[in-house]
Amino acid sequence: MSATVLLTDYAWPDDAIERRVIESAGFQLITGPASPAPESEIDALVEQHRPDAIMTCWAQVSSAAIRASAGLKVVARLGVGLDNIAVQTATERGIWVTNVPDYCVAEVSDHAVGFALAWTRGLISFDREVRSGRWNPAGANLKRLAHMTCGIIGYGRIGHATASKLNAFGCRVLSHTLYPPANIPDVQFVGLEDLMSESDIVIVHAPLTDSTFHLINRASLALMKPGGLLINVSRGGIVDTDAVIEALQTGQLSGAALDVLEMEPNVPEALLSSTGAMLTPHVAFSSDASLAELRRRAAEEVVRVLVGDLPEHPCNQPQRA
C-alpha cells in the first residue's frame, strides 16, 4: 500500500506542484482546506487518514495530531518557522521535522528594505495624501537612507541579505544575534539595548521562540531615538502590538512597518487608523519564484524521508530515526 501524505493547508490557488512531486514518487496526497482549519479539525484529519507524512503551511500540527498516526515519519513545514508544529513531540516519537530555510531570502529582505525606502521617501503617506486631494510638496519631511543607522535583530540568511542591501545604500548597519559571526565587514554586532538606542530603523528578522516573544516591547521601544521606524517581517509575536500602537500615538515611533501581527488576520483599529502604520498581509515571503521553489522543495523533502533517505534540511534529531 502506498504511503499517504496529508497537506493540511496552502496559501496559494491549488495543490498542483505538491501533488505532482508526491504522486510521481508513487505516494498518495490528501489535501485539507486551503485556509488553515482550527487545531481540532487538523487533529481529526490526521486521525481519519493516519498519514505517513504531514505537510503544513499555517495550520497547527499539535502533539495530539503527531501522536494520532503511528506510521508518521515526517512533518514538513511549507516555510521557515516552526512555531505551528509540536517539534518536541515529533522528536520524542522519532519523527523528522523539516523546513525550507532559504527559499525566500531575497523576497523577505527586499520587503524589509522596501519598507525602509517607503518610510524615508514618504511613498505611502504621499500616495494617501494625493489620493485624498492634497498636493503639498512643501510639506515633505523626507530622510536620506544613506544617513540612517539600521539595526537588524537576527543575523541568519535573511538578516545577512538585508544587511548587504542596506550597505549598498550606504547605511550604517548594526545587528544583534546570539551567535555573531566573525569577519563580517560593514556590520557591527552589538547588544540589544545598544542596537535599539543607536538605530533610526530597527528591523526584526528573528524567529519566534519563548525567549523572543515580545522582545520588542515598551521598554525596548523607549530606548529608540524619537521618531524612528520599526519593521517586522518575521513573526508577529516578537512585537508587543499594544506597545507599538502607544509608540505611534506618542511619536516615539513615526513609523511601524508590519508584515506580521500577533493576532493576524485581525488588525487593531488603532493600527488601521494610524498614519504611521504600513501594513501588509504576511506576504514578505511571497513571489512567483519563491512559492514555486517552496512547494517543490518541501514536497521533495517528504519524498526523501518516505523512501528512506535523510532530509536535506532537518530541524530536529528524532530519537528513534
- Say whether 19 is catalytic: no
Catalytic residue among 235, 295, 297, 304: 235
Pick the CATH number of 105-279 from 3.40.50.620, 3.40.228.10, 3.40.50.720, 3.40.190.10: 3.40.50.720
Show the low-confidence residues of the chain (pLDDT under 70): 1, 320-321
**pTM for the predicted model, two decimal places:** 0.90
> How does pLDDT run across 69-127, given as a tens digit for each residue?
999 999 999 999 899 999 999 999 999 999 999 999 999 999 999 999 999 999 999 99
- Say whether 264 is catalytic: yes
Catalytic residue among 23, 39, 246, 264: 264
* SS3 assignment for the chain: CCCEEEECCCCCCCCHHHHHHHHHCCCEEEECCCCCCCHHHHHHHHHHHCCCEEEECCCCECHHHHHHCCCCCEEEECCCCCCCECHHHHHHCCCEEECCCCCCHHHHHHHHHHHHHHHHCCHHHHHHHHHCCCCCHHHCCCCCHHHCEEEEECCCHHHHHHHHHHHHCCCEEEEECCCCCCCCCCCEECCHHHHHHHCCEEEECCCCCCCCCCCECHHHHHCCCCCEEEEECCCHHHECHHHHHHHHHHCCEEEEEECCCCCCCCCCHHHHCCCCEEECCCCCCCCHHHHHHHHHHHHHHHHHHHCCCCCCCECCCCCCC
| pLDDT recorded at residue 2 | 86
> How does pLDDT run across 195-226, given as a tens digit for each residue?
999 999 999 999 999 999 999 999 999 999 99
Same fold for the pair 4-103+287-306 and 105-279: yes
Domain ranges of the chain: 4-103+287-306, 105-279
| pLDDT recorded at residue 1 | 61
- Say whether 235 is catalytic: yes
| pLDDT recorded at residue 319 | 82
CATH 3.40.50.720 fits 4-103+287-306, yes or no: yes
